[in-house]
Structures are given as structure tokens and as C-alpha cells.
A and B are shown apart, each in its own frame.
Chain A
Amino acid sequence: MEKYIDERVYIRYGIFEVNPAKMVKWVKQQVMTEKFRYYIITQRRTYLRWMHDQFAYRILKPPVKHSHD
């Protein structure tokens, strides 16, 4: 399922991607499976958690009344 956000960015299967029409002239996209895109996202999430670990033992949560994630 695709959803066109604006002429710059799409959502496809719940993941953002650049409007593919923007990558035809100067640089081309490679051929890529959806599975591979999920692999990248999973790896990125684990990397971001790891990056926090190098600077402190844990992340503090925001004051209760402001936490609405």
C-alpha cells in the first residue's frame, strides 16, 4: 500500500522512502527487496540503541506527564 506524502517523500508498506521519480537523472536506485529494507531498519534500530550505551548506562525517561509515546 502506497501513500503519497508530498512530491518529495512516499510511505510504502509503512516505511518512508524518497519519491522514486526523484532518482532517475543523476543517480539511480538499486534493485532492492522489501525484506532487505526491513533488514536495514532493524539493524539501524539496534545500532541506535547501541550508540546510547556508549555514553551512559541507561536512558532516562521524560517526566511522567510529558511521556506520550
Chain B
Amino acid sequence: MTYVMSYRKVDGYVIERLAKIVGDANVLTLPHERFIRAASAAPFPLHRWDDHAPDVVVLPGSTEEVAEVLKLANELRIPVVPRAAGTGLADGAVPLKKGIVVDIKRMKNILEIDEENMCVTVQTGICNNTLNLELNKRGYWWPFDPASYPCSIIGGNMGTSAWSLIGGVSGHIRDLVRSFVHVLPTGKVITVGEGGGRKISKSSTGYTLKHLFFGHQGTLGITTEATLEMFPKPEVEFPAFFGYRSFMDAWKNALKMAKSGLRTMATHIMFDEWKVEALRRDDEAYIPLPEHIKAVIATCFYGTEAEVKGASERIFEIAAKDGGIYLGEELSEGDWASRHDRYHIAYHGRHTDGQVGTYSWHCEDAAVNYSAIPYVREKWHALVAEYKQKYDVFDDMGGFYYNNNPFKQWGDYLTEIDVFIDEYHLTEELWQKWVELKRKIAEVVLEVGGSISACHGGTRPGDVELVVGKELDPGVYEVMKMIKRNLDPNNIMNPGKYLLDSAYEG
């Protein structure tokens, strides 16, 4: 039996009921208020913008209001899509079936700072940068550093199981949350931790359900509060960038860095030849690299001065082993501090005639083991070049290969190719070409035994069929469906993501 989804249309009655829960002023129905909340930061079919605009937006002010909205959605059978910053890169926040967008950003207070037990409790609508600035005032540090640090929001970081540039010293989001208040798709509110203690970081009581709610892309409910780790603010930071005569030199050197055992090393990141060329074209740090530099490794260290000083001497010795040349303080410090902002400028893309265009910067992120990096890089760039040649809406801004491993530097890498897409000039045909390109990029990753997404998510067109059909163990997907069906009996929670409508089929 094929499952036929039938949801209630959002009409005046629904608006009225929603207004009773969150207040009139917090129910938004005007077209622009809805359309600004249609996209995530992933490539977007702007030519079909209305396909993804929600029917209504609500701005709840409390866990109770969120729970009531979900109960209503179940009662009336209306899709609900949670939205934090909307800076996710896998369309978690993009409504596939319209409905209600629950925008959590009114709930962004810090509830408690516990300096003895070193944790901070927040409402999940708080931004990473804003939280860190508050903690800084007391000498503490929120050490979660995604590329979207200045603008992404805890609730979304959890929903996507996001990744930190400095995960090598302080882990990723799933390592930094002790417990959280979560509203299940039915509207039932639970507190999820390691076990039962709100401020406990490791326990063995009951099933460890915590990680289930990281990366669900909003399909398993809405998290409204979280108790987070709080670190002491490091004494020193030490960024050091090295240039290499070839990518392979850099790649060889990266393994030595990975195995160095330097505990204060937050990351090492390879920039491939295409990236270095693109930076020569328009680099925010504006320090031209000498022509013989073909690749770069960026390293950064955090910790006490004594520990980092020792590490800094060692990293220079390691870099030299494969001809790594230090690129200087100004570049290292400036480029490291630019690591969040460089992504989002529309003018970095070039049309095939060399003219500056307006392109959306998009990064495809896979998790790939060290050994496969050179191969993946070649295949990916060849693919994008082929599509750029044929269709002027794409450009290649090069590749990054980041340490992907929490609390260490060896294992796998977040391999990223930065594809630019001129969404302003998209047609359906060109959009489908993008989806085709995305699929081919994902297939390369599966070829080498990697994972299609290190941290964005696998819910997008082009990815999701491969994630569900090829990457995940079929048994795993069966369990996913069981969980989805049981936690969300009416399929109202971000329906369609991860092809989980199939969970409800006869």
C-alpha cells in the first residue's frame, strides 16, 4: 500500500489556534516574513522559491509553547519545521511540505552559569558567538567553532550534529552538551542526558539516547534548552600557516602532523592547489603567495603558554620535513581570524568569461580517510570543471581538508570542495544539473568508503538517495524508520527529510 500523505491546509482557524498559544504578535503570515525563512544556507532553487516557503511562522517564547504547537500540529495534522539560524548546509530548516516553521530565536537567554561544575545552561536559540562573548567576560570559553560561529545557533548545531574547526582540542557539538530539554514530535517534553543527571557528562544508566537527537535534522522534535560544557579560556592561541611546493608534499606532511601527538593542536587544514589559486585571485588577507607555493597547511594551537610554546617549536620541525615554509605572522594570524567570514561573499565567483558574478558559496563536505584524499580531490575538481565548462552557473573555489577528529588529529578528514552556484540565474534544468553534479560528488565519496557528509547532513537532493540507498547499512535505515514512526506517529515533524515518509508505508 502506498502511503498517501494528507495534511491539513493552514487556514484562518489554524492561525487562530496558533495565536492562542504564542500570541498574535508571534504568528507571522505575510509573504516576505515566510519567504525569508524558506532557505537554509545550502544551494537553493530560487526559481521555485515558493515551493519551500512555509504557510506560517511562529515565534514561541517557551518550551511549553513549543509543546503546545506540536500538539496542535498532531491534532490537525500539519507539518512542522524547526528553524534556528537557518545557516545549516543540508536543508534541515527547508520545509519540503510547507506547514508551520517554528522559529526558536526568541528563546535565546543564558539561564545559568555554573563555575564550579563548569557548565552553562542556555535556551537553544542562542548564537555561538554571543554565548562565547558572555562567557569571556568571566574568563570562560564556549569552545565550539564552526565556520558559522558568528551566526549559527545551538539548536541548529545540535539538529545537524555540527562540527568545530578546533574539534581537535575541544570536540564537536555532540561532545559539548551534557543534557537538554527536548520536545518530542508528539509534544511530550523530556530531559535527555547521559543518564539522569542534568550536569553529568558521562554515565551508564539507561540507553544513551543523547546522540539520537544530534543530526536528526529536526525530524525527531525540537530541543529548547541545553546544559553545555564550559572551558577555561586558553592562555594562548598560536596559528601557523605553512606553504608547500606541491599538494602531495602537503599531504605527506599532514600525516606527520596528525601523528605528532601534540595535544594542544586544535587543527591542521590542507588547502589544495585550486584553493591557493582562488585565494590568489581574491584573498581577504591580501597577502599574495609566491608562485611556487601550491598548497598550504594551516595549523592552530590552544592551551597554556608552556604547552603551546613547546608545540610551536615542534610544528616548525615537522613542517620542514616536507619543505613546508612558514607563511608569516600576518598571514597566519589574519587568515585564521578570517576563517568564518571568508565564506559568504557573493562576489568571489567568476563566470566563464572571467567576469565577477553573484554566486552563493557552497561547500560540499564529506568525511574521507586520509589515504583517499588525493584521489577524491582530483575527481571532484574534474567534475566541477566539467559542469562549469558546460553551464556558466558554477564555479570552483578550491578544496579544504580539515582534521575531522574530536580531541585528536588522526583518522579522517572533513573534505570540502567549495562550489559556487549562481542561484539568481537558475532554471529548473540548471538546478537538476546541480543535483546531478551533487550526486556524482557524493558517489566519489562512497567509492572510497567515506561518508557523504561529515557535518552538514545528508538530507539534500542529490545526497539523500545515496545516503539512504547506498551509504547507510540497510539495517540501520530500518532502525531509523522504526524510531521515526514511533516518535512521530503522524509524520508531522519535518516530513520528507531522509526519505522517511517511507517509514509510514504499508
Contacts and interface: CB of A to CB of B under 8 A. Distances in A.
A–B touch (CB < 8 A): the answer is yes
Interface of A: 5, 7-9, 15-16, 18, 22-27, 44, 47-49, 51-63, 66-69
A61 B357 contact: no
A56 B282 contact: no
B246 interface: no
Contacts of A26: 351, 355-358
Chain A contact surface mostly: loop
Given A25-B351, A62-B312, 11 more contacts: A9-B281, A26-B356, A44-B284, A48-B338, A55-B237, A58-B237, A60-B238, A60-B301, A61-B329, A69-B328, A69-B329
A67 B234 contact: no
Contact of A69 (B133, B286, B302, B330): B330
B34 interface: no
10 contacts: A5-B288, A7-B354, A8-B281, A44-B284, A55-B141, A56-B233, A56-B237, A57-B236, A63-B316, A66-B316
| Interface size grouping (class) on chain B | 35 or more
A50 B98 CA distance: 41
B240 interface: yes
B264 to A, nearest CB: 10
Contacts of B240: 62
B356 A27 contact: yes
Question: Which has the most chain A C-beta neighbours within 10 Å: B136, B166, B330, B356?
Answer: B356
Nearest to A67: B329
A67 B313 CA distance: 12
Contacts of B308: 60
B353 A25 contact: yes
B49 interface: no
A51 B213 CA distance: 31
Contact of A62 (B133, B141, B329, B350): B329
B16 interface: no
Contacts of A58: 235-237
A22 to B, nearest CB: 5
A16 B286 contact: yes
Contact of A56 (B280, B302, B334, B354): B302
Contact of B328 (A15, A25, A27, A68): A68
B333 A48 contact: yes
B300 to A, nearest CB: 9
Nearest to A44: B284
A7 B281 CA distance: 10
